[in-house]
Amino acid sequence: MRRSVKPAINIFWFKRDLRVAVNRALSACAADGLPVLPLYMVEPALWRQPDAAHRHYRFIEACLAELRTDLGAVGQPLVVRVGDVPSVLGEIAGQFDIVRLYSHEETGNAWSYDRDKLVKHWCTEQGVEWREFWQTGVVRGLKDRDGWAGRWNRRMHATPPEAPTALTPLPVLDIGPIPTAEELDLVGDGCVSPQTGGRQAGLIALESFLTQRGQNYRTAMSSPMNAFDSCSRLSPYLAYGAVSMQEAAQATARRRLALKQAPAGTGAWRGSLSSFSGRLHWHCHFMQKLEDAPSLEFEELHPAYRGVRPSAPDPARLAAWEKGETGLPFVDACMRCLQATGWMNFRMRAMLVAVASYHLWLDWRATGRHLARLFTDYEPGIHWSQMQMQSGVTGINTVRIYNPVKQGLDQDPTGAFVRRWIPELAAVPDAHMHQPWQWEDAATVLDKAYPTPIVDHLAAAKEARQKIWAVRKGPDYRAEANAIQAKHGSRRSGIKRTGRRAKAASPGSTDQLSLDLGQSAPS
């Protein structure tokens, strides 16, 4: 029996679930009968990790401010503390008798995984029960993918939890300030046009996409010129939990049903939302990979690819790619746009990784850390699964080496996107915007205002293709690939488990193409 003169409470630990509504764990905590201390812990060590960035925290900071207001409206504002989790919980335990700790399961980076093990140890030592709840389609402790899609559907279409309407105030507790990015020593990173953080902005994005902006999603999502308006732009709100995956899935399902019952003339809408609904599945599909294999953040999924690229990337090539100065205009424009906005559509994300991994032959871990810092919607499970897939080291996906010139000609035929982001090419005619080295006056610009390409993209792609496919000819390659597919693969695509050579996946079935959900998550 617990005996304490201190007030007994439950703590709700906010992590990547920064909302009051459709918050399964918070609702359970509020219904438990004890006063709830809603707590967010700003962990300085987390923000010193190589995948953390100023833009991430600024988005979270806006979410926290709104969350504090929303919780205050039902009785107890958000409490914010700075420090490592066991220490913060220990300080609170000096004032309150902590009976239970509630939170959602998190599929985060390796640092957060190790932190959770420390928290579990603290709870065991202190006699605090830690209750964790699901909030996405990710299944903890999954043995294989059989039946996973059905389980996703059941979760997403379950009745949403009732939001708490009254929390007992804890007036003796200082709620604490929300620290600024500067107070955490996070340096500004040039994101001059970020998305607005907070739940209300996320709900507006969801509603406007489903009723106004999303009609041409299926056809417009590949072009960086159109994707900023035609894509959902939900990915950062889902990544930090300002909007839940369940409410996004249910809102999409309701809209699709309404369109099905509507008069003729809604075909574009129906096709686009069918595509988007599928991509909501893919969001959790990729997160599940990291949940099942945390080493994905550091080690190639297929062992045959370990060591295929130098572990120490060429510093000049890496720097040129990071700065958007490779001399390949469309690639550089996409990188500079990403730097300034924190977002890019999926096809262009895939192209950036492909150019880095194949044409420049850079290690995916180094380029992955840079992109993680640039993506406001950084979701570790999706990100590292995609980095490996687009780098060709999973062993179960089609090797896709994007031609950066062809992508530019296809997706930016007039060169308007390139011209916007690379003003150094202002003098270059539209006809040569994607290949300025073919312009008769190229010498007036190249290696003066703008670099010549640092590689011959066609020759580099050919060499990379040979290296990647050579690995697939190894004697044990197929058996290992089949084992990987059994554990991680979609049951509708990829290498078959029969041992036969897989057919090239089609755009409608592969988990590599057109996944416009942020990092293959709802963007």
The alpha carbon of 459 is separated from its chain's Cα centroid by a whole number of angstroms, namely 32
At position 466, the amino acid (one-letter code) is Q
Q: Mapping DSSP to helix (H, G, I), strand (E, B) and coil, where does residue 160 land?
A: coil
Domains belonging to the chain, first-starting first, are: 8-135 (3.40.50.620), 191-291 (1.25.40.80), 296-488 (1.10.579.10)
Residue 474, pLDDT above cutoff 70: yes
pTM score of the predicted model:
0.93
pLDDT band at 502 (very low <50, low <70, confident <90, very high): very low
Element (H, E) at 128: none
What pLDDT score does 4 carry?
64
pLDDT tens digits, 279-292:
999 999 999 999 99
Q: Which residues pair with 11 in a beta bridge?
A: 37, 101
pLDDT band at 164 (very low <50, low <70, confident <90, very high): very high
140 pLDDT above the threshold of 50: yes
Report CA-CA distances (Å) from 430 to 223, 415, 441.
17, 6, 13
What is the Cα Rg of the chain in Å?
A: 24
Q: What share of the chain is helix, strand, coil (3-state, %, to 5)?
A: 50, 5, 45
Report whether 190 contacts 340 (CB < 8 A). Answer: yes
Q: How far is CA 7 from CA 2, 14, 270, in A?
A: 12, 21, 54
| 3-class DSSP assignment, residue 228 | helix
* 231 DSSP assignment: S
Q: Is 440 exposed, middle or buried (0-12, 13-18, 19+ CB in 10 A)?
A: exposed
Query: What average pLDDT does the chain have?
Result: 93
Express as a percent the part of the chain with pLDDT over 90: 89
Cβ-proximal residues to 17 (8 Å cutoff; 6+ apart), any chain = 23, 25, 26, 103, 104, 135, 241, 244
* Distance of alpha carbon 246 from alpha carbon 163, whole angstroms: 14
CA atoms within 13 A on the CB side of 348: 31
Distance CA 483, CA 476 (A): 11
Backbone angles phi, psi at 433, to 5 degrees: -60, -35
Q: Specify the pLDDT at position 265.
A: 84
Q: Return the residue matching tokens 């720097």.
A: 319
Q: How far apart are alpha carbons 471 and 146 in whole angstroms?
A: 29
Rounded average pLDDT over 203-231: 97
CB-CB contact of 509 with 492 (8 Å): yes
Mean pLDDT of 370-390: 97
Residue with the larger pLDDT of the pair 474 and 462: 462
Running DSSP on this structure, what letter comes out for residue 446? Answer: B
Q: What is the mean pLDDT of residues 65-73?
A: 98
> Quick one: CA torsion of 488, 492, 498, 504, rounded to 10 degrees?
-100
Kindly state the DSSP code that residue 170 receives in the 8-state scheme. Answer: -
Q: What is the pLDDT of residue 491?
A: 66
- The answer to whether residues 202 and 243 touch, using CB atoms and an 8 Å cutoff, is yes
Confidence of residue 2 (pLDDT cuts 50, 70, 90): low
Tell me, what amino acid is at 273?
L
Tell me the average pLDDT across 461-489: 92
The CB density around residue 105, as the number of other CB atoms within 10 Å, is 19
415: left (phi over 0), alpha (psi -120 to 50) or beta: left
Tokens at residue 293, please?
Answer: 């294999």
Confidence class of residue 512 from pLDDT cuts 50, 70 and 90? very low
pLDDT class of 3 with cuts at 50, 70, 90:
low
Q: Specify the 3-state DSSP secondary structure of 324.
A: coil
**pLDDT tens digit string along 177-205?**
999 999 999 999 999 999 999 999 999 99
Please check the confidence at residue 505 and state whether its pLDDT lies above 70. Answer: no
- Residue 312 banded pLDDT, cuts 50, 70, 90: very high
Of all residues in the chain, what percent carry a pLDDT higher than 70? 93
* AA letter at 160: P
- Interatomic CA distance for residues 255 and 273, integer angstroms: 8
